[in-house]
Structure 1
Amino acid sequence: MKENRMMTIKQLKTQAEWEQIHALSSYAFDVNHNEIQKENFFKLCSIAKNFGDVLNGTLTSSLMLIPFDVSLFGKFIKMGGIGNVASYPEHRGQGNIRHLFNKVFSEMKNDQILVSYLAPFSQPFYRKFGYERLFIEQELTVPSEVLKFVEVRDGYKVERIKEDNREARKERLALYNCTLGRKHGNNQRSLTWYECCQTRADNHHLAVVRDEQDQLVGYLDYKFDKEDVIISEMIYETTAALKMLLNFLTSHRSSFKNFIFGSLEDTSFLEYFDDTRVSKIYQTNGMMARIVSMSSFLEQLPIKKTIDGEVYLKVTEDVCAWNQGIIHWSFQDGVSKVTWVEAESQVATIPHYEASIGRWTQVLLGGMSLEKALNLGFVSCTHEDDFLGTVLLKGQPFLKDHF
């Protein structure tokens, strides 16, 4: 029986309220944090906007909105990461989460956050809020017999870090942000976020590569799991640094059966080895995403240099009313302009393309090509010309972190 009461959605800003969020998350996700993990949970609360549904002073549902900068074809834009979406079981199915998302979408629009990512427990559930599959995760398993030592340059050195500290973390963070953090779709890391991520890893080891000037040019984050070496991060700025890291791993091959690389953006380093037939790449669907404001997103979207032209895009949207309608997207002298069409009668022809906000997210961010979306029927088209296809940049987005 549903509870008959008004929803009370509020932003949770105090330590006492964060304690309630932690208790709810611990129950909903069946986790038992140690003191360090609990401290980092509160650090995460401090950099996030936290929203909850409160009944008689008790938190019933909550979610976190974590701000990030992400790369959009080389241009950084604001992204809102959604995490810790949870409700106590007696309050589920009452619309609490929908009301929380409505509030958060308005917050993101007001804060000029253009896109949002989340890790789904259920893809159909989050499609109701406009999210769609965007990221593909790759895990690479390399048997130890595949590895071999490769030729490296003099002057570079690799060493394990026995005692980590904040200055060392800042150094690794800077390297990450200027390398993998610039990949299309991926997020820049703040120091607080990076430290929270690091404490999630149990029994992990670190190794770094330095060049002739003692500058950090690469690092490994890894751990041992019985017969396997699990590499969670392999970051490098130069080819020489990559080779040093591979040789460091190869030096472990007599003690372990497999080397497992998680969340890889690029597997081309396998070309250094002679016979890789027994290596396996495992792909899964990763995080989902959605565009928060279609018009604002198109204004910021990098495009190819193109001839002058125009296209009408229709957006269907069940959650964010400001996205529902027809957009006129025009291009002149390499500059794009975005305007909303007030009524369909003002359009000389019917919209050139039509799709849901989720499918537009896939196409515009590169998770699915326009051609494939048309072939599968996710985008409908009334014109035979491929003007939109000549405008859009291509590239599969990559995301390393989860939240």
Structure 2
Amino acid sequence: MKDKKEEHTYLETNGDFKMRELDKSDLEQFNALLQYAFQVTTYDLFQTGWQQEEIKYAKRPILEEAYVLGWFYGEKLASMIVVYSMKINIHDEIMDMGGITGVATYPEYTGKGLIHSLMKHVLNYIHEREMPISFLYPYSIPFYRKMGWEIVSDKLSFTVKDTQLPKPRPVDGMVERVSLDSEDYHNVHSYFALQRHGCLIRDNLSWEEYWRWDNDDMIAAVYYNKDHRPLGYVVYYIANDIFHIKEMVYLNIEANYGLWNYITAHFSMIEQVQGDNYSGEPMAYLFDDSEITETISPYIMARIVNVRDFLEYYPYQIQPEDLKLHFKVHDEMAPWNEGDYMVSWHDGETVCEQVADNQSINVVELSVNTLTTMLMGYKRPSYLYEHEKITTEYYMLTWLERLIPVEKPYFSDYF
């Protein structure tokens, strides 16, 4: 009978270190490294309502549904990375996306390039599975920038005093509290995600990640119109006289008014409302008393994994048949992306070809980082040009501004 060590296929070796894919037999080591690296103790989990067996098996679906790669020192897991197969809305084009998470190394193994090599392997994995783009939540923005990821969305945290809450507005519908697995609640998010650029299309695993570390006090409330159609929701909990909003989504302005009416109805119970807004736009203007507190921080990072496919699938605002645009892209981590990509439009179709690097007109030279944040709409071409992130002739900015839709990404998930 073969021993466990011989049964595994190793992708790379480095002295006593061996890289391989994790499976269910590695669950205990997988959980241990996650809890150590992200400083989540068993006590912390108990405090949020987890039971011992739930803690043990909480991450088992990842090992069954995701791609998990790790470095082992002997039989001990030293470093690892996780890739989810997801879908994302890019300006109404639904694209496959590789969501990276669980990037962790025990401190005694740092400085050996383990994470860097894992990142190169998973980039190749995502590329081979034809996922044009990857997202991750960064623990170090400079670290991931070196590997081609760039900021594409912000989180705006706000605090509203009870005296600043909006006055109730007349609406025909009403808000109802529902279970966290309510079909109406999930359907609202699905409709919203299909309409909103940058939004994650949540599947079962995405929903599990969305709730994984929340406490049992979380509440979902759905706004229904007069025909009992669900048009919005707010997810929240109340603690220490504060109404904490995890997420608020609405499909029209009626639902927005109805949800704020519901929040304001808690006036006698709370002293303030705190929450996070992922729209990329400050909220203060919409309040009668606009002196609310808002803070902005970068949230999610993304990187184009397959430049040719992304440029071809990308939904440009216009399709000028008299223009041939050259993106000269630099990408050290993904050599297949390095080169000159000519984009043109014919009969309503976008054509992208990698061509010889000898063009002298209509050239936009930039890193894969800058290409990602520009096409995602987080930063506009003119802004990037002014800050020397793009090398091009000035007249090309007019074309880029016209080609790229004006909408910042909405991304509220964490994985």
Give me the TM-score of the superposition, normalised by structure 2.
Answer: 0.87
1:4 Cα deviation after fit: 6.1
Structure 1 counterpart of 2:377, which letter?
Answer: G
Alignment check: 8 A CA contact 1:43 1:196 kept: no
Identity of aligned residues (%): 25
Q: Residues 4, 238 of structure 1: CA spacing in aligned structure 2 closer, same or farther, 3 A cutoff?
A: closer
Structure 1 counterpart of 2:37, which letter?
Answer: A
Partner of 2:30: 21
Rounded to whole Å, the distance in 2 between the matches of 1:157 and 1:391 is 41
Partner of 2:40: 31
Rounded to whole Å, the distance in 2 between the matches of 1:73 and 1:112 is 19
Rounded to whole Å, the distance in 2 between the matches of 1:326 and 1:402 is 34
Partner of 2:224: 210
Structure 1 position 198 matched with structure 2 position 215: no
Structure 2 alignment gaps of length 5 or more: 1-12
Partner of 1:140: 158
Partner of 1:392: 404
Within the candidate set 4, 8, 19, 1:9 is matched to 19
Structure 1 position 359 matched with structure 2 position 376: no
Within the candidate set 103, 112, 126, 1:85 is matched to 103
Counterpart of 2:247 in 1: which secondary structure?
strand
Partner of 2:129: 111
Give me the TM-score of the superposition, normalised by structure 1.
Answer: 0.89
1:393 Cα deviation after fit: 2.1
Q: Residues 396, 157 of structure 1: CA spacing in aligned structure 2 closer, same or farther, 3 A cutoff?
A: closer
Structure 1 counterpart of 2:244, which letter?
Answer: I
Within the candidate set 157, 171, 178, 2:174 is matched to 157
Rounded to whole Å, the distance in 2 between the matches of 1:368 and 1:269 is 20
1:341-362 Cα offsets, whole Å, 9 max, x none, are 24x3xx3526711111111111
1:271 Cα deviation after fit: 6.7
1:267 Cα deviation after fit: 6.6
Within the candidate set 346, 350, 368, 2:379 is matched to 368
Alignment check: 8 A CA contact 2:324 2:362 kept: no
1:121 Cα deviation after fit: 1.3
Counterpart of 2:200 in 1: which secondary structure?
coil
Alignment check: 8 A CA contact 1:181 1:189 kept: no
Q: Residues 98, 370 of structure 1: CA spacing in aligned structure 2 closer, same or farther, 3 A cutoff?
A: same
Partner of 2:265: 251
1:352-376 Cα offsets, whole Å, 9 max, x none, are 1111111111111111111111111
Structure 1 counterpart of 2:19, which letter?
Answer: I
Structure 2 counterpart of 1:10, which letter?
Answer: R
Structure 1 counterpart of 2:236, which letter?
Answer: Y
Rounded to whole Å, the distance in 2 between the matches of 1:248 and 1:38 is 38
Rounded to whole Å, the distance in 2 between the matches of 1:336 and 1:147 is 48
Alignment check: 8 A CA contact 1:311 1:328 kept: yes
Structure 2 counterpart of 1:378, which letter?
Answer: K
Structure 1 alignment gaps of length 5 or more: none
1:105 Cα deviation after fit: 0.7
Partner of 2:315: 302
Alignment check: 8 A CA contact 1:142 1:258 kept: yes
1:377 Cα deviation after fit: 0.4
1:394 Cα deviation after fit: 2.3
Structure 1 residue runs of 4 or more that deviate by more than 6 Å after TM superposition: 266-272
Structure 1 position 227 matched with structure 2 position 236: no
Rounded to whole Å, the distance in 1 between the matches of 2:17 and 2:198 is 35
Partner of 1:377: 388
Rounded to whole Å, the distance in 1 between the matches of 2:65 and 2:14 is 34
Alignment check: 8 A CA contact 1:77 1:113 kept: yes
1:107-146 Cα offsets, whole Å, 9 max, x none, are 1111111111111111111112111111111122211112
Counterpart of 1:31 in 2: which secondary structure?
coil
Rounded to whole Å, the distance in 2 between the matches of 1:148 and 1:330 is 49
Q: Residues 277, 214 of structure 1: CA spacing in aligned structure 2 closer, same or farther, 3 A cutoff?
A: closer
1:78-120 Cα offsets, whole Å, 9 max, x none, are 1111111001111111111111111111111111111111111
Partner of 1:328: 342
Q: Residues 89, 348 of structure 1: CA spacing in aligned structure 2 closer, same or farther, 3 A cutoff?
A: closer
Structure 2 counterpart of 1:220, which letter?
Answer: V
Q: Which is worse superposed, 390-399 or 291-300? A: 390-399
Alignment check: 8 A CA contact 2:100 2:136 kept: yes
Rounded to whole Å, the distance in 2 between the matches of 1:390 and 1:38 is 52
Rounded to whole Å, the distance in 1 between the matches of 2:406 and 2:166 is 35
Alignment check: 8 A CA contact 1:41 1:196 kept: no
Q: Residues 82, 272 of structure 1: CA spacing in aligned structure 2 closer, same or farther, 3 A cutoff?
A: closer
Structure 2 counterpart of 1:358, which letter?
Answer: N
Q: Residues 389, 264 of structure 1: CA spacing in aligned structure 2 closer, same or farther, 3 A cutoff?
A: closer
Within the candidate set 190, 201, 207, 1:188 is matched to 201
1:47 Cα deviation after fit: 2.8
1:134-181 Cα offsets, whole Å, 9 max, x none, are 111112221111224423334x232334xx364x2x331121111145
Counterpart of 1:256 in 2: which secondary structure?
coil
Structure 2 counterpart of 1:302, which letter?
Answer: P
Alignment check: 8 A CA contact 1:311 1:388 kept: no
Structure 1 position 239 matched with structure 2 position 248: no
Q: Residues 209, 351 of structure 1: CA spacing in aligned structure 2 closer, same or farther, 3 A cutoff?
A: closer
Within the candidate set 40, 58, 63, 1:40 is matched to 58
1:387 Cα deviation after fit: 3.1
Partner of 1:340: 354
Query: C-alpha root-mean-square deviation of aligned residues, in Å?
Result: 2.4
Q: Residues 239, 61 of structure 1: CA spacing in aligned structure 2 closer, same or farther, 3 A cutoff?
A: same
Counterpart of 2:324 in 1: which secondary structure?
strand
